Structure 1
Amino acid sequence: MAFAGKWETESQEGYDAFCKLVGIPDEVIAKGRDYKLVTEVTQNGNTFTWTQLYPANAKVTNTFTVDKESDMETIGGKKFKATVHMNGGKLTVDFPNYHHTSEIVGASSLRHPHPAL
């Protein structure tokens, strides 16, 4: 499954609960509620560079190879090691406080729902 491209969030599921879980302050949660997160992905075989662009020009970039431990970083700047897996066309990874899954839905949507709490 080719993830390469530039993707914009169409909808968010569980946004407020997710933000509270990862420690984002209420005023930042309110500002970001209607923001359409942009994700830029480049892919070379099983190696990805995954950049998420946030308001005020903040961004987080992680480069990883599927099924190999990689150095990662959260939006809050926390660095950790993780292994991204691909299962059934979905990329999955465990962040320090949550499990992240991304998948292509239809021809033009990248889906990465916030986890159920």
Structure 2
Amino acid sequence: MAFAGRWETETQEGYDAFCKLLGIPDDIIEKGRDYKLITEVTQDGNDFSWTQVYPTNARVTNKFTIGKECDMETIGGKKFKATVQMEGGKLSTSFPNYQHVTEIVGGKLVEVNTLT
């Protein structure tokens, strides 16, 4: 499954509730609600560079190899170790407090976060 490309948020479902459960302040939730997040992905086999571009062009880049532990960072700057897995064409990793699953559906990048 090729994830490489530049992707822009089209819709967000459950955004407010998810942010509140993570403890994000209401003013920050409000600012991000309608922002069209840009995700830039490069892929070379099992090696990925995954960059998310936020308002004011702030960027968070995580580099990883499928199945190998790596250093990751959240939007809030929290650093942690994680292992990204691929199963059935889906990328999956555990962030602090939530599970992140990404796949390509109908030519679109679909990301689902589930609280853990």
TM-score between both structures, scaled by the size of structure 1: 0.93
Q: After TM superposition, what 4+ stretches of structure 1 lie above 2 angstroms from structure 2?
A: 113-117
1:10 counterpart SS class:
coil
Structure 2 spans left out of the alignment, 5+ residues: none
Greater relative contact order: 1 or 2 (C-alpha under 8 angstroms, separation 6 or more)?
1
The structure with more strand, counted as a fraction of residues:
2
1:26-37 equivalences in 2 (<5 Å): 26-37=26-37
Aligned residues: 116
8 Å CA contact retained: 1:12, 1:113: no
Whether 2:67 is the aligned partner of 1:67: answer yes
Q: CA RMSD in A?
A: 1.3
2 CA distance for matches of 1:86 and 1:114? 16
Task: Point out where structure 1 has 5 or more consecutive residues left out of the alignment.
Answer: none
Offset, 1:113: 2.5
Sequence identity (%): 71
Q: Which residue of 2 aligns with 1:47?
A: 47
Structure 1 position 20 matched with structure 2 position 20? yes
Q: State the match for 2:113 in structure 1.
A: 114
Q: TM-score, normalised by structure 2?
A: 0.94
CA contact (8 A) 1:7 1:38 kept: yes
